[in-house]
Amino acid sequence: MSPETERSLFGEILDWMLAPLLFVWPLSIAFTHYFANNVANFPYDQSLRELVGTLSRQVQLVDGKPVVSLHASTRAMLRADELDSVYFHVLTQDRKLLAGDQDLPIPALAGVAGVLPGEVYFRDMEYKGQDIRVAYSYIAEPQAPVEQWVLVEVAETTEKRTQLANRIVASVILPQFIIIPLAVMLVWFGLSRGLRPLTRLRNTIEDRDPGDLSPIATRRVPEELEPLVEAFNEMLERMKRNVEAQQRFVADAAHQMRTPLTGLKTQAQFAVRETDPAALRHALRQIATGVDRAGRLVNQLLTLARTEGSEIAQQKHEPTDLAQLAREVVEDWVIIALEKRIDLGYEAEGAAMISGNAFLLRELLKNLIDNAIRYTPAGGHVTCRILDDGSSILLEVEDDGIGITEEQAELVFERFYRVDDATTEGSGLGLAIVQEIASQHGARARLRPNPRGKGALAQVVFVAWHPPLPPPPPPDDYAELYRQSPPLGP
């Protein structure tokens, strides 16, 4: 299945829970079989040990030579097994048979190393095509050389052991054929119950009205789903802001475009009826002016829409030199200021670093300078100034134009508000754009009467950005660092 293929979360969890079980089950059977064989060997090994001991007691060493007096009862005991065949023999180290089966395999002479006379040892081997279990011991006088040791071996086939091991394995494995399917059913049921909150969440989302962008309540949401719901609520909040911005844009555009479009229509109708060339040219100039005014209004509406919850506004802020941006914007407006015979100046003492969005900051500067030039008569002065006090950056745009009152200063940042609507062209959106961009940078703009005289003074205060300090170098004397560190206890 390709990664792009949709998968069920229920099936994914079930797979990861059952796959280890299916992997461990064969291992469990193998370990059970191994330990069952060990358990089955123990009692029968004890029986073989007793047979070896009984047979060893029938061997006597007379003058260093072995003599075997095998009683009939001992022979009967060795041959009494109904399921397994029992073999035995008593041999000297030169392979001289003293009693028992001649061809029963014996351990190599080298295998005597580390073996003590009188101790019983076990080994597994094959004899006459059957697996056998062999118990053996050596009989010797104290300090006797290995060549004088007598080997006593008793072997039996493993049928009883196999049957007992199989019964042990069956007693363990057979219940698992009931337990495992039951466990699978319980896991299935538990997953169904555990994933029920996801089903409720899905139903809650599906049942919502298409226009409902209110956050989803987290009261009954499990702890594991809270981050998901919170992220979804944040997305809804962003969507709500975007929708509201679009609705405001549509309402503002419909409201503000009605007047210029009506004027353009009136001028166009007048031009159609006019036969005087001079009057016709005048009407066309009026239409061109109206088109410029409408175009500027549309551009400002689009700028305002982009700054309110748009993709540009959500871009990550980066260290930006506000002084450099201000210098570039002032240079762009010099020609326009000269055409209006306004002295446009710039003052800054050096770089002024803030964290911000360069595109939006450029729009803020452009609107502040445009607003100052628009309300400053010919022969006036407009100055863009950057002040840095270390902790904050102050942007000022000062003019000696018509100025504003303290009452007007509280209203100028509202949309479509104009100080002098009758004599000055404008849409009343420039300062609203400035305030929106400032708030997105953690700042607040204000416009007040110029304290130096007539005109107005616009100010925006930003938090200064400073590069993070490098980590301190490791000390040469770590004992000194330890002495300087605060105590951990009270």
Q: Which CATH number belongs to the domain containing residue 409 in this structure?
A: 3.30.565.10
Residue 435 in any domain: the answer is yes
| DSSP letter for each residue of 299-344 | HHHHHHHHHTT-TTTTSPPEEEEHHHHHHHHHHHHHHHHHHTT-EE
Residue 412 in any domain: the answer is yes
Instruction: Clarify whether residues 376 and 235 are in a common domain.
Output: no
Residue 352 in any domain: the answer is yes
Low-confidence ranges of the chain (pLDDT < 70): 1-7, 77, 79-80, 108-112, 245, 248-260, 262-263, 290, 292-315, 415-428, 474-490
Which CATH number does the domain housing residue 116 bear? 3.30.450
Dist CA 245 CA 78 (whole Å): 101
Q: Residue 271: what pLDDT?
A: 76
Q: Residue 440: what pLDDT?
A: 86
Instruction: Clarify whether residues 302 and 327 are in a common domain.
Output: no
Instruction: Clarify whether residues 285 and 345 are in a common domain.
Output: no
Instruction: Clarify whether residues 324 and 390 are in a common domain.
Output: yes
Question: Are 321 and 351 contacting, i.e. CB atoms less than 8 angstroms apart?
Answer: yes
State the helix-helix crossing angle for 430-440 and 358-374, rounded to 10 degrees: 150
Instruction: Clarify whether residues 99 and 149 are in a common domain.
Output: yes
**What domain count does the chain have?**
3
Instruction: Clarify whether residues 159 and 27 are in a common domain.
Output: yes
Last residue of a domain, one of 116, 148, 165: 165
Last residue of a domain, one of 307, 331, 350: 307
Count, residues in the chain: 490
Question: Are 132 and 125 contacting, i.e. CB atoms less than 8 angstroms apart?
Answer: yes
Instruction: Clarify whether residues 381 and 342 are in a common domain.
Output: yes
Q: Residue 110: what pLDDT?
A: 46
Residue 222 in any domain: the answer is no
Residue 4 in any domain: the answer is no
Instruction: Clarify whether residues 265 and 347 are in a common domain.
Output: no
Last residue of a domain, one of 122, 144, 165: 165
Buried b / exposed e along 196-210 (16+ C-beta atoms within 10 A): eeeeebeeeeeeeee
Instruction: Clarify whether residues 322 and 303 are in a common domain.
Output: no
Picking from 366, 282, 354, the residue whose alpha carbon sits closest to that of residue 328 is 366
Instruction: Clarify whether residues 273 and 374 are in a common domain.
Output: no
Instruction: Clarify whether residues 24 and 137 are in a common domain.
Output: yes
Cα 299 to its chain centre, rounded Å, is 41
Which CATH number does the domain housing residue 299 bear? 1.10.287.130
Q: Residue 365: what pLDDT?
A: 92
Residue 186 in any domain: the answer is no
Going through 372-486 in order, the beta strands assigned E by DSSP cover: 381-388, 392-399, 445-449, 456-463
Identify the domain containing residue 126 by its residue range.
11-165
Instruction: Clarify whether residues 297 and 330 are in a common domain.
Output: no
> And the tokens for 100?
């028992």
Residue 173 in any domain: the answer is no
Q: Residue 395: what pLDDT?
A: 94
Residue 249 in any domain: the answer is yes
| DSSP letter for each residue of 184-229 | HHHHHHHHHHHTHHHHHHHHHHHHS-TT--PPPP-TT--GGGHHHH
Q: Residue 345: what pLDDT?
A: 93
